[in-house]
Every structure is written in C-alpha cells, then in structure tokens.
Amino acid sequence: VPAFVFDLDGTLVDSVYQHVYAWHTAFQRLGYDFPAFLVHRKIGLSGPVLIKAIARELDRPIDDERSAELEAIHASEYAARFSSLRPLPGARELLLTLHSDGVKFSIVTSSGKGDAEKLMALLDLDFDPPMLTKDDMPKQKPDPSGFMEGAKMIGARDVDTIVVGDSVWDVLAAQRARFLGVGLLTGGYGEEELAAAGAFRVYRDPAEMCAKLNELGLEE
C-alpha cells in the first residue's frame, strides 16, 4: 500500500500565482528587473533558496540584508492577497478519502508554520495530518531530506512512498529520495515539463488524482 507525502502550496491550495505576484513585486521594488516567468519557475523553493536561484540566474549577487528585505516584501504582498486563496479542486476530498481508507500521508512544505496553518485551515479537515514546515527542516527543496523526513514521520517504506507536488522541484526532490513523484498541473507547469523532470504520473488537479488512485496502487 502506498503512502503519500504532499506538497502544500499549489498542490492542495491554489497559491502559486499569488506567490509569483508577491515575489515579482518584491524584486521590482528593490530594482531587480526581470521577467515574471523566471520567478514562476522558482516557486516551490523556500524564500532564501528562491532568492539565491534568481541571483544566480541574473548573475548578480544578493546579500543577506537585501534577501531579508525581499522576503519581508514578499510576505506582506502575499498576506495582502491571502483572501484570494482557495483549496484546489478535489484537495479536501482526496485527503478525506485517504484518511478514511487508512492510507498514511503527511504534508511537507517550504512555507513557514504560520502560512502553512492558514492554508490547512482552508482545507477544513477534522483531523490534523502530520506536517513539516520550513522551520522543521535544515535543508530545503530540491534537497530531498524534507520529503524523506515526511515519509519517516508516517513510517512509510521508501518503496511505498509517493510524493505529490505541482512543481519540477517536487518531482526532482522525489527522485533524489528514490520515491515516485506525482505532478499536478495546478502549479502552472506543463504536463511535458513535469514528465521530463521524471514524474511517474501527471494529473490535472487533486480531483483527477483522487479519481485515479488505482493507478497509484490503491484498490477501489
């Protein structure tokens, strides 16, 4: 029986474009002008890792002080758009189905504890799935250690573990952990892009995954 480790932002709650907007605004405000698609392709990475990746791409170092300023602007712009966040189609149903079928799962997110708890509240579950946030992990995606720790929390064996995420970073980290990776299109990556990163299956959204759990080794 498989066990699942879920990403949160863009996988269970529709928050990717709000993050794109908030990061792009932060970079523009501090004078870093570059196209928004570049930051879209980095969503899923935690703040400091995302900032380093952009700095590398711009070939322009960003020191710790500027990095902290960028994170602060991102946080306030993201908070200002919080009321536009919605659970993704089928996210609640998928987690309730797994829970009632006794399938183990955990949630591993690059967001901080406060933001993650707000997103979980939107899912309106009557139980608390095991969760790791940025603050619980020494290393961040695409390092696989967070997903590995998330699998350990629920006693999943490596050969049973399936990571579910919306970004190339999730799928790459899953592979580095020797887990299977399932990609969802809800992060705005294309199907081919997730498949090329090594996704075992790609679904449109949690609703489609919920309807096709048999493909992932769950009997009906």
How many residues form the binding site for its own copies (CB under 8 A)?
A: 31
- 56 touches its own copies (CB under 8 A): no
Task: Indicate whether 16 belongs to the interface with its own copies (CB under 8 A).
Answer: yes
Structure tokens at 57: 């791409």
Rounded-to-integer distance, Cα 210 and Cα 207, Å: 5
Among residues 149 and 193, whose Cβ is nearest to its own copies? 193
CB atoms within 10 A of CB 111: 22
Give min distance, CB of 167 to its own copies, in A: 12
Say whether residue 35 binds its own copies (CB under 8 A). yes
Residue type, 215: E
Tell which one of 33, 59, 126, 128 touches its own copies (CB under 8 A): 33
Q: Which helix (H) or strand (E) holds 106?
A: strand 105-108
Q: Which of residues 135-154 bind its own copies (CB under 8 A)?
A: none
Under the criterion CB under 8 A, does residue 76 sit at the interface with its own copies?
no
Nearer to its own copies, 10 or 144 (CB): 10
Laid out side by side, the sheet with 180-184 consists of: 131-132, 105-108, 3-6, 161-165, 180-184, 201-203
Determine the Cα–Cα distance for residues 122 and 22; give it in Å rounded to an integer: 20
Find the shortest distance in angstroms from Cβ 79 to its own copies.
16
Residue pair 181/206 in contact (Cβ under 8 Å)? The answer is no
By CB under 8 A, what part of segment 190-209 binds its own copies?
A: 190-193, 195-196, 205
Residue 84: CB atoms within 10 A of its CB come to: 11
Could you list the residues that contact its own copies (CB under 8 A)?
Answer: 14, 16-17, 20-21, 24-25, 28, 33-37, 40-41, 84, 86, 88-89, 185-193, 195-196, 205
